[in-house]
């Protein structure tokens, strides 16, 4: 039931792009993306709902393929502040009635 | 509203002792969740409440763990007879049942069992 994230780790230079994937074996109602820095709480990035909506937040965007039960997070022109661990969380089913189940995380390191 | 508040931030306890953590959610949020996170892992679901009702408890949670949300506001998580394997970050989050279910996390309580 836990979503699977790939890759497990990414190392980038400033200005490079990255894609983080999240896939589930069960039908999804929504996918939530969070970033967590060491020793801190997860910080909300965005939510994607059924319907394939693509959302954008500054240089971070994401997509949700409902049929494939997959979501991807796109980090464009990465900045040093993007470093951290990215988690996708999924809510299964047909409505917002369940709890978030998190993937194992993708560690992103952006170097100068 | 200042967000989700958790106390204490850090707790060191001896094995076998009981510990209690507190979470104060965003005031208008009717849902409250507890997660546990160990190093290098994603947050692992423990239990959640809608108002004062505990709707689900993870099967991974032993009988030594109990959570309450007596008046549908703050919540407490108690661990009895702590073990070294209980050492982790305990995260609380809250959300609204209505809408898209945006979670807001607290800063967590880091438990170290020695």
Distance from CA of B110 to the nearest CA of A (A): 9
Contacts of B56 (CB under 8 A, 6+ apart): A99, B47, B48
- What does chain A come to in residues? 112
B65 vs A: CB within 8 A: no
- Residues in B closer than 8 angstroms to A105, CB to CB, are 40-42
Two tokens, residue B77: 């998580």
> A46-55, B33-42, B49-58: lowest mean pLDDT where?
A46-55
User: Looking at residues B36-58, what average pLDDT do you find?
Assistant: 92
Chains A and B form CB pairs within 8 A to the count of 54
Looking at the predicted structure, is the pLDDT value of residue A96 above 70? Answer: no
The pLDDT, as a whole number, for residue A54 is 62
Rounded Cα distance, B20 and A86, in Å: 29
The pLDDT, as a whole number, for residue A56 is 65
Distance from CA of B88 to the nearest CA of A (A): 11
Q: Which of A39, A42, A101 to mutate to test the interface with B (most CBs of B within 10 A)?
A: A42
Looking at the predicted structure, is the pLDDT value of residue B70 above 80? Answer: yes
Contact A49, B100 (CB under 8 A): yes
Looking at the predicted structure, is the pLDDT value of residue B96 above 60? Answer: yes
Q: How confident is the model at residue A24 (pLDDT cuts 50, 70, 90)?
A: very high
Output the average pLDDT for chain A.
89
The pLDDT, as a whole number, for residue B85 is 94
The pLDDT, as a whole number, for residue B59 is 86
Interface of A with B in 52-111 (CB under 8 A): 87, 89, 91, 96, 99-105
B101 vs A: CB within 8 A: yes
pLDDT digits over A37-87, tens only?
988 889 988 888 877 666 666 778 898 888 888 999 999 999 999 999 999
């Amino acid at each position: 039931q836990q979503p699977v994230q790939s890759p497990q780790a990414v190392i980038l230079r400033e200005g490079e792009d990255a894609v983080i994937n999240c896939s589930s074996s069960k039908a999804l109602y929504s996918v939530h993306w969070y970033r967590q820095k060491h020793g801190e709480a997860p910080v909300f990035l965005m939510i994607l709902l059924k319907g394939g909506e693509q959302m954008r937040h500054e240089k971070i965007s994401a997509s949700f393929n409902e049929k494939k039960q997959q979501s991807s997070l796109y980090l464009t022109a990465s900045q040093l502040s993007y470093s951290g661990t990215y988690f996708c969380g999924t809510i299964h089913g047909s409505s917002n009635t369940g709890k978030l189940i998190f993937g194992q995380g993708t560690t992103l390191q952006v170097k100068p | 509203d200042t967000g989700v508040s958790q106390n204490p931030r850090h707790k060191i306890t001896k094995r076998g002792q009981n510990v209690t953590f507190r979470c104060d959610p965003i005031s208008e949020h009717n849902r409250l969740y507890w997660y546990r996170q160990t190093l290098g892992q994603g947050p692992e679901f423990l239990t959640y409440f809608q108002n004062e009702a505990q709707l689900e408890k993870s099967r991974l949670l032993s009988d030594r763990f109990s959570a309450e949300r007596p008046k549908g506001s703050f919540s407490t998580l108690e661990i009895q007879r702590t073990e070294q394997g209980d050492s982790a970050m305990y995260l609380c989050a809250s959300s609204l049942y209505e809408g898209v279910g945006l979670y807001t996390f607290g800063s967590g309580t880091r438990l170290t069992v020695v």
